[in-house]
A = this chain, B = another copy of it.
Amino acid sequence: MSQKMTRRRLLLGGAATAAVAMVKSSFGKMVQTGIPEAAIDPTKQVGPLPGILGTRSPFEHPQRKASLTSSQTPLQDLYGIITPSDLHFERHHAGVPAIDPNTYELTIHGMVDRPTVFTLADLKRFPSVSRICFIECSGNFRKPDKETITPQDICGLTSQSEWTGVMLSTIFREVGVDPKATWFLAEGSDAAVMTRSIPVSKGWDDAMIVYAQNGEAIRPQQGYPARLLLPGWEGNTSIKWLRRIELSDGPFMTREETSKYTEPVKDGKIRQFSFTMDARSIITYPAYPVQLQKGWVEIRGIAWSGRGRITGVEVSTNAGKTWQAARLQEPVMDKAHTYFRYLWQWDGDTTEIMSRATDETGYTQPSLKELIAARGIGTGYHLNPVTAWLVKRGGEVVYRPEKWK
């Protein structure tokens, strides 16, 4: 290396040093085994040999943010579209049940020709399908009430996996669903015995019973050993730890679709069975708590829609005055988190950056103002407004507070 080295020049001039924007994690450090903290010169020291399981670097500690009822995916720490399985968000109503896969049973009965009990091995014997899609909680929203919150806080109740299992339509044919059946009940085997009524049409369309996630057996927190998967629909309907499906000619009016998971709209009306998650996007970089530096910045984020493919994401870097098309990472998949990127040269002045998604139905993600005008304030369910980040002159990036009443 005889040539003179220069420190990295920034893309088109700009700051003179190599210091650039870095996200500082708000979590404590979690040291894992196997890989020691950095040696002075790693070429001088033989490292740990191959092992049965890999580990994270002791310098990396992505974590969900957990409450008593849910845990949120650290979107600001992630890249691309796969959510690592141990970082997939959780929302459960009575904790994670412990289920022995060898005694697991799924009962299908009601308006069917052949009421049947399936073992896990039975389910795995059917023709299988894999698909990459998101699951999002319908309560995936945080009011813009303060500046110091992250993408994880705002909408960390969405995650994406490659799911593998059997189409529910295959099982419907196997048990002989009565053509007069219009709804089915899906019931979990958690201590809440979580139940939802689902239109049979979704079962014939793209519903699945899945037993694998990101290549391996589904995780207990995501429904081990098998869950319902209703692509694009609010997460609670994809019943985890699925133990029973009952076919019927009407909805069952369970607690989770009467007292919960309905939302007031206007004029005192209540919207019920509002299954589909509308198109949404969020910039995950730069976002709080990033400290930005002047010059070129690749704005990055995810966009998704429960109604089909994302057809476009627009980014504004001037508080919504003008919008530009972001690049979408191929392949763009149906009802799937889609990664978008937009290269921006920040001049160092205060501004607001935001994104809005459009899906294949032509629907475009609304602003919070538009959403409240259309729907009223209502509950925290099914809120998908544009998220704006305020970039301050010093480079501080924060959640833009917005009127909410």
Chain A residues in contact with chain B, CB under 8 A? Answer: 1, 3-11, 18-22, 27, 34-39, 42-57, 59-60, 62-71, 77-88, 90-92, 94-103, 107, 109-110, 114-119, 121-122, 124-130, 162-164, 174, 189-191, 193, 211-212, 214-217, 219-222, 224-225, 241, 244, 296-298, 300, 329, 331, 333, 339, 341, 343
Query: A87: which B residues are within 8 A, CB to CB?
Result: 53-54, 215-216
The answer for the CA separation of A232 and B361 in the assembled complex, in Å, is 37
**Candidates B42, B52, B90, B99; contact of A71 at CB < 8 Å:** B52
A67, A117, A221, A329, most chain B CB atoms within 10 A:
A221
The answer for the CA separation of A127 and B67 in the assembled complex, in Å, is 35
* Chain B residue at smallest Cβ distance from A117: B5
The answer for the CA separation of A51 and B222 in the assembled complex, in Å, is 12
Q: A42-B189, A47-B97, A96-B48 are in contact. Are A55 and B86 (CB under 8 A)?
A: yes
**What would 6 more interface pairs be, CB under 8 Å, given A53-B87, A57-B219?**
A8-B117, A47-B92, A48-B96, A55-B221, A80-B130, A125-B297
Query: A329: which B residues are within 8 A, CB to CB?
Result: 129-130
B47–A94 CB distance below 8 A: yes
Query: A38: which B residues are within 8 A, CB to CB?
Result: 98-100, 103
* Chain B residue at smallest Cβ distance from A93: B46
How many copies of the chain does the oligomer comprise? 2
- Closest A-B pairs by Cβ, 5 of them: A47-B95, A42-B97, A38-B100, A79-B212, A50-B71
A20, A107, A211, A241, most chain B CB atoms within 10 A:
A20
B49–A116 CB distance below 8 A: no
**Candidates B53, B98, B128; contact of A86 at CB < 8 Å:** B53
A119–B8 CB distance below 8 A: yes
* Chain B residue at smallest Cβ distance from A32: B220
The answer for the CA separation of A77 and B18 in the assembled complex, in Å, is 45
**Candidates B6, B78, B88, B128; contact of A54 at CB < 8 Å:** B88
The answer for the CA separation of A289 and B203 in the assembled complex, in Å, is 35
B1–A109 CB distance below 8 A: yes
Q: A162-B82, A212-B79 are in contact. Are A98 and B54 (CB under 8 A)?
A: no
The answer for the CA separation of A42 and B77 in the assembled complex, in Å, is 34
A66–B52 CB distance below 8 A: yes
A82–B79 CB distance below 8 A: no
B71–A298 CB distance below 8 A: no
Query: A300: which B residues are within 8 A, CB to CB?
Result: 128
Q: A39-B97, A50-B68, A191-B45 are in contact. Are A80 and B6 (CB under 8 A)?
A: no
Q: Distance in Å from the Cβ of A216 to the closest Cβ of chain B?
A: 5
Query: A341: which B residues are within 8 A, CB to CB?
Result: 127-128
B216–A107 CB distance below 8 A: no
Query: A103: which B residues are within 8 A, CB to CB?
Result: 38
A49, A124, A212, A329, most chain B CB atoms within 10 A:
A49
Enumerate 6 A-B pairs (CB-CB under 8 Å) in ascending A order: A5-B116, A8-B119, A43-B189, A84-B85, A125-B297, A130-B329
A64–B71 CB distance below 8 A: no
Query: A53: which B residues are within 8 A, CB to CB?
Result: 63-64, 86-87
Query: A19: which B residues are within 8 A, CB to CB?
Result: 121
